[in-house]
Amino acid sequence: MEVKQSKIWQPYTQMQTAPESINITKAKDEFLFSENGDKIIDGISSWWVNLFGHCHPHIAQKLQEQTKALEQVIFSGFHHPKAEELCDKLSEFLPKNQTKFFFTDNGSTAVEAALKMCLQYFINIEAPRNKILALDGAYHGDTFGAMSVSERGAFTEPFHRLLFDVTFLPFPNTSKNETALLEKLDSLDTSEYAAIIVEPLIQGSAGMRMYSKEMLEKIFAFCKSKGILIIADEVFTGFGRTGKVFATDYVKTKPDIYCLSKGITGGFLPMGMTTTTEEIYNAFLSDTKTKMLFHGHSYTGNALSCAAACASMDLMKDTETTVNIKRIVSAHSIFLESLKKYKKVEWARQLGTILAFELKTEETSGYLNSKRDEIYNFFISKNILLRPLGNTIYFLPPYCISDESLKKVYTAITQLINQ
């Protein structure tokens, strides 16, 4: 059979060995419809971006209205009502200390802007600090700054010599590592550190690795006491994924900077956002232009993305969303208990709407585990999109998923384990 060669070069895909990509022509709620007539459950919310279901009518309508008013305008010297509205809407969810909103294009660029803000903040106040803290296993994106603060592993290996130095703290998933992390913090010359960046409570790409809110609070409290700026990368965890609007809502000490993206537009359009405090913003105010933030993107503050994000925030406030999130949380927790009895299942875990476990294989766990493709294909054969991270299987559906679809996915997972 002749293999159809597409012109498309897909991300995170070995194009030589990957099966032929599925052509999706339509989507609705939790379903993707292929050109072949398959109806596929989107069990990973299309790379974690979709919150309320595909083609949600409220977002679609607001977007359509916006296309008739304004699609895009340069965002320097000009702005537009939807950008202002979005800042107001986000303010309702964010801690009160977040008063300034910097628009970018995606999660990686939200992280780049955050890192630049922190490093330049200390230059602007004439007390330079050049070092950054991050956690082992971190993933903050694929641009060079974001890669620098991410785990030195397979994702970044070809570029290691070009990445800037970062101090990585042990990932606090065991009491030994928790102690090691706190000892490492204590041993640092903290006056050299500008910022810490973390994925709060759960590292997504590292394999849905969870850690406790008590540890998150300890890390934040320590950094706050030493004047180290706290960047919460909520690109994945933001907007209800963890059961609260933000993962950092579980702790008392509030970050100085939030990186937001993915679900911000409900999965309709790309958008990134770096929010910050009055104090950081004020350090960039000066009579000299060199103190300004030299950062921006052509599509910064795109009016269509802003309209989609405003509509997405409306839905975030809707009681139906709260009810749906609670429904998934409780369904996951019942299924989680049943998972724990299987010998082939390790580290079954849940945080809000995120369910994950490791399927025991003869190899060590990790992203390059050779069982990954088999697992992926098994679910695809059942018309379910679950995209394991190596042998880590995770399920995080759009909040609108029906009980029937939830059950279908749980059943397929059980069949895989029993196979």
Cβ distance to ligand PLP smaller for residue 115 or 328: 115
Q: Which tokens hold the place of 62?
A: 């607001």
DSSP-assigned letter for residue 353: T
Length of the chain: 419
Contact 396, 402 (CB under 8 A): no
Binders of ligand PLP: how many residues, by CB under 6 A? 14
Least gap, CB of 29 to ligand PLP (angstroms):
23
Query: Which residues on neighbouring strands pair with residue 231, listed in sequence order?
Result: 197, 257
From residue 334, alpha-carbon distances to 43, 172, 328, 331, 349 in Å are 18, 26, 10, 5, 12
When asked if residue 305 is in the footprint of ligand PLP (CB under 6 A), the reply is no
When asked if residue 261 is in the footprint of ligand PLP (CB under 6 A), the reply is yes
CA distance 95 to 245: 11
When asked if residue 209 is in the footprint of ligand PLP (CB under 6 A), the reply is no
When asked if residue 204 is in the footprint of ligand PLP (CB under 6 A), the reply is yes
When asked if residue 141 is in the footprint of ligand PLP (CB under 6 A), the reply is yes
When asked if residue 43 is in the footprint of ligand PLP (CB under 6 A), the reply is no
Cβ distance to ligand PLP smaller for residue 211 or 236: 236
303-317 helix and 81-91 helix, angle to the nearest 10 degrees:
30
When asked if residue 205 is in the footprint of ligand PLP (CB under 6 A), the reply is yes
Least gap, CB of 144 to ligand PLP (angstroms):
12
Cβ distance to ligand PLP smaller for residue 141 or 398: 141
Least gap, CB of 64 to ligand PLP (angstroms):
24
Q: Which tokens hold the place of 294?
A: 């030299």
Q: Please work out, in degrees rounded to the nearest 5, the angle formed at the alpha carbon of residue 52 by the alpha carbons of 47 and 53.
A: 70
In the block, tokens 């913003």 appear at 281
When asked if residue 233 is in the footprint of ligand PLP (CB under 6 A), the reply is yes
Ordered alpha helix ranges (H), 226-351: 278-282, 303-317, 319-339
When asked if residue 103 is in the footprint of ligand PLP (CB under 6 A), the reply is no
Tell which one of 102, 222, 236, 399 touches ligand PLP (CB under 6 A): 236
When asked if residue 137 is in the footprint of ligand PLP (CB under 6 A), the reply is no
Contact positions vs ligand PLP (CB under 6 A)? 106-108, 111, 139-141, 199, 204-205, 233, 235-236, 261
